[in-house]
Structure 1
Amino acid sequence: MSILTILFILLVISRAAEAQRRLSNITLGSSLTPHSTWPSSSGVYAFGFFPQHVNSYAIGIFLPDKTVVWTANRDSVPTVPDDVVSLRLSTEGRLILRRRQGQDEDSFDHPTNTLLPGQRLPPGKEIFSSASDTDYGRGIFRLKMQTDGFLVQYPINTLDIHPYAYYAQPPNGAVNVSLNLDSDGRLYQLNGSFPLRNITNGGFPTQGYVNLMRLDVGGIFRVYSLSLGNLTMTRRWSSTDDECAPKGFCGINSFCILMDSVPVCQCIPGFVSVQADNHTAGCSRSFSVQGCPEINDRLKYDMRRVDNTEWEDNSYETMFTSEEECSKACLDDCNCETAFYKDGQCKKQRLPLRFGRRSLDSSNMAFVRFSTTVVPDTGGDSDSKIVTKKERRIDILIIGIVIMSIGVLALLVSVFFAHQKRKDYSKISKDDGANYVEGISLQVFTFEHLSEATNNFKEELGRGASGTVFKGVLQNGQKMVAVKRLEKEFAQGEIEFQTELKTIGKMYHRNLVRLLGYCFDGDNKLLVFEYMSNGSLADILFNQEERPSWEERVEIARDISRGILYLHQECETQIIHCIKPQNILMDENWRAKISDFGLAKLLKQDQTNTYTGIRGTKGYVAPEWYQKQAITVKADVYSFGVMLLEIICCRKCVDWNRSEDEAILEEWVYDCYATGKIGNLVGDEMVEERKVERMVKIGIWCVQYDPSLRPTMKKVLLMLEGTVEIPMPPSPNSFLSSI
């Protein structure tokens, strides 16, 4: 490498103008050892050895925070200290790595994964991501400045064609375009010497900062600023915010989904991860395949559906049919291992699947062949994996005998427990049978039984608008329950009681408190629920000493949204609940469950809204309740949004002990969001700001004054799970300010 090139390494990359004026005193014949470097004249950059893997080194240029911006021989094996004698600048101006087993020469022809101020990516050249954050060898993504003027991102080992691109900047008719970076972070394209387009506007600080562009390990190229004062790296711009966008982020037979904006790789049905800590390794079958099966062997396979996914299209046959026929057609074709279906079009395909990700188009789906007779693939010769027909008959016979034995045993146990149950409830009066509510399977209790179970209603757990809840013990002290005793004036309404009972008794969801039984004895009307050992969300959320962690709060929010979604869309009778932290209860596993359906407004299946008076607790009540407008499920979205903001900030929605600016939670949250002070919402708690901002945006959308602007609970859950993008929300009261 010439002496002019080595000067370029150490000087030009720091600042183009400064490099023209200053020279670094590196004498020909100088050398470096694995523990020394050559600094640039600015002191910002250094050239020499840096750690790579365990007990080995690589050679390159790096910043004061050890960020590597160029790597020599990045695809070769890293050097081992004992093998290296020196890195020498020869008298001929060449850079030579002297090893005990020979020597290598190197050059600085073009960037590796980073553009520094003053550098450019010429037409026809490309940069590659690193293999990992600690391995600076060539990774799996590339950014190419094509000779046709397109700036395009591809996975490695693919053709430069549209189906493989996941980012493209068009040339506007220009060719032979270069990619350039200015010192202020402006990333732009030049057509010769003519500025063509700004990709970023730049304007980032330069005094005490170094701005650079890097193609990250995950396949997204970004502009960063390094503060030379505290050596912190700040992300200034990204080519995309969707970290599942890079094709190939997940290995074969797996697809990428976003969980709270973090990309996670998930295997298709019947497959398991090859390496749990390596998302690029992909997934392999958890069952063995015996080749093309006979027609009768089709029973050993089934098709598993994978919704909302998209993949590389390498199909060998396309047909137009229904979803069911598409699945059957692949199952009947022994060459078909998966089928893609969308809008009546069915495409058959073989494995492996590549470039999988969660699709934004809900009509995309895939069907994957899945073995219903799982035979573990333990390796060895293929002959040893073949199960003969005789062996299968023996297996079926053994399984049949086992199933028959289990059936007989289960019958005997059922008879025993039925006899015991008849004995245990012999105290129930003959009239109780007449009070059984048709259509639901609930246990019937006498008032005396529940009075005894609650020790004459001694230990109160909480009060609601419709009644008081007491702690009880059943089954000889083995089972804890919560007994809700309806208030007398409410209990006089037999219709209301029957309505609530029929509704709750038919519902079951992991995020709803389960109704176990009831008592219907004149004015004494009681409901028996499963016992929630960890109290209400309000008990833990507003306890500053023992409040849950950020991740626990996020999971609580997801639990609640799943429960509300069930009430809105999945249960037989649609319910508007008017939730608040006091009726969100926590079980022994700290799972959130919705309780207290005494406030629920029941709707008929074909009814989408209702007109009614104000119900619920002030602060959680949607504006339409006060306006006497039609009440829809969007009223619950508002209540959830208020509670989500409480979950984020661990404070009540209205707190007059705070300053006037902070008293109303939703107004304070939006002010912090609009002014970039998101960190104020979580105080001293260490939480990534992007995670807080994402949750805040969801909350602000939910508390919009106009119900039509609020998302559905299904959309809310998708946003909480990180599977959809969240646009910038308007001010919650923007509708009011415009009238």
Structure 2
Amino acid sequence: MAVKLTKLLILLVTLLPPSSPSTTYTTLNQGSSLSSPGDVLVSPSRIFTAGFHPVGDNAYCLSIWFTRADTVVWMANRDHPVNGKATKLSLLHSGNLLLLDAGLLPAWTTNTSSSAASVSLRLLDSGDLVLHTQDNNKNNNSSHVIWRSFDSPTNTLLPGQPLTANTKLTSSASPTNHSSGPYKLYFDNDNVLRLLFSKSDLTAIFWPTPWKSSWESGRSTYNNSKTAVLDHNGRFSSSDNLTFKTSDFGAGPQRRMTLDADGVLRVYSWRRKWEVTWQLPVPSCSVSGVCGANSLCTYSSTGLGRRCACLPRHRAKNSGDWSEGCVPEFDRILRCGSADVFLCISHTEFYGYDIGFMQNKTLEECESICLSYCDCRGFQYKFEWSSGFYNCFPKTLLFNGYQSTGFDSPFYLRLPPASSNKTRPLQLQLQCNNSVVKLERVYTRESKYGLLRLRLRSLAWCVGVLGAVEVVCVLVFLYKTHASGEKLRHQGFIQVATGFTRFTYEDLKKASRNFSEEIGRGGSGVVYKGMLADNRVAAIKRLNEASLGGGEEAFLAEVSLIGRLNHVNLIQCWGYCAQGRHRLLVYEYMRNGSLAENLGSNKLDRSKQFEIALGTAKGLAYLHDECLEWVLHCDVKPHNILLDENYNPKVADFGLSKQLKRSDRVANLDMSLIRGTRGYMAPEWVYNLPITAKVDVYSYGVVVLEMVTGLSPKEIDFDGVEEDSEIVTNEIEEGDGLRNLVRVALQCAQEKRDASRADKSCGLGRYRVNLIMTQPNKA
């Protein structure tokens, strides 16, 4: 019996695979192999390592990673991990590179072959894994690349690695799951670089902005090279005219461009850790698929900056993964021509998946259109300002749902009759449960003595580091104590000179939640809603570089003037930021938006219209005659007249207008560029006549006529309009006060009838504004 047991033991030992130590290669030649999980191939400077990277319990992928950061930049078999035992990557004598799972099943191959004298595999310091041939004869001693990893990227581009018409970036499924995800960066058929969401039967392009043309997004379709590359200095350039630079532009750190699992393209730079130095400028809720079908995305100050919520009478399909969306709670199919009802959800938009586009429809007509389609799930009812009527967009699929106060138009959700009493969707937080499985790595456990030595070594390092940090802190404190006095005195002078607060860029970035909620846009910049540290709601205007005429000194000079302007009918400026290349202004927030947003509503009765006209005139009169400097607005229009909670008007966007000394107020001003908005601009700009306060008076008259009559500037013929015209007699019937207001508006916008072409001046000066101010409110 003992002899039999001995023979059996010997047999089992011989069947076990031999244990071999891990090997580090610089070149893999024909007939050689890398064995999992320990064998690796390193670049000459050991910047990159190639080998079997763990992605789960006994699961590995052939990968390339930064040696120091252990960050994967390429995977060969990301969707089909291999076993950690007896798996080999072999370079065959035929010139083919073959990955065998557990030594039996082919898992991945380059499908290459060569009759050259020698074939070898090398990992370059660029991160490119290259398979090349070498001819070693007297007449021909050349090298030829037959395969390289740069030609088949996964989710990362390295500096110098081109993205071409035949390659694309595909995101990972999640930060812990390296398999292929739903987001792709690729060159489309029109030669434009785009980001696509594709999952099951849903596909959507979300960057560049799909409802804009390519040229509106700064792209060009007139190219055929389809090439994009990130260089070693941090500059990205693409053949479709897309270019940008990282915030740390210049030679130095290691970089990578990665399409992350959340659908956002980022560039990372290594400085002891990975830091984001550029990020795709797309709001988090504008990334398709983040919340799935039948759900809404709203901004949040926590987590990823967004949260998801199901539509009414819907529930989350998977509470651990909002990308799967929501499903209806009612169990029946919508029928054509049924008695279904529609629930209005305000400030909501679903982009795409329209049955059609129906112009100039009433709400009842739009409901009937949706009911006539069996697959209509609801409709977007959107007011078109350029045309002056509502358009109808019935939807077959509710995807790309986005809820924000920036959307004026509502969405109407189709529901069975029993669902009509439901209210707005609940704001649900994303809660992860046990259904989300994280792939853990398996590490060998050290002995207790090895663990003790490791802890002692760590303790010694910590003591040394703390001592060094303490010395550095003392030196920094001494230096800053010496310099802080001058700095504080300088900042105090600026605050006294301007009369309001100087914010840091980080303060305003935090207040606006990383500039996430856009509430306005103009030629000089974009306005975002924010919450200051003292809980005041503010409008934060981020100025374009093109709108700034000088450096920091010129900007501070203009800001100083803004701080000294104080009138009940002028928007109040609370502070500013002038830090590096950033220029921002912080204004009070106006709850009812602009006059332009309210022109088509029923909120402005004749009494409010008169008060708006009166207040606007007072604000302009203050700019023209009552402040120390003479300020011309040069762009008076409904968009620049803001309304507070009581619909009191405040003139806005005057801060960086033309400002001169009072002695210059009658001079022929030399303005190099025409200022203003088409339809509201005075003819002085066209005829190159002296620019005076009358240009604002002209624009004011156009605004008042548009507000009272409901006609756009292009619908009013100002040439030869008489005070007894139909605009006055037919449109206005509510009292003499309003009639006088319209007559004054006509005179403000009327050219001199008998003036020669050389003396064509518009408006009648300040006394016309005073005429409005003296009228009793009889409306």
TM-score by length of 2: 0.44
TM-score by length of 1: 0.46
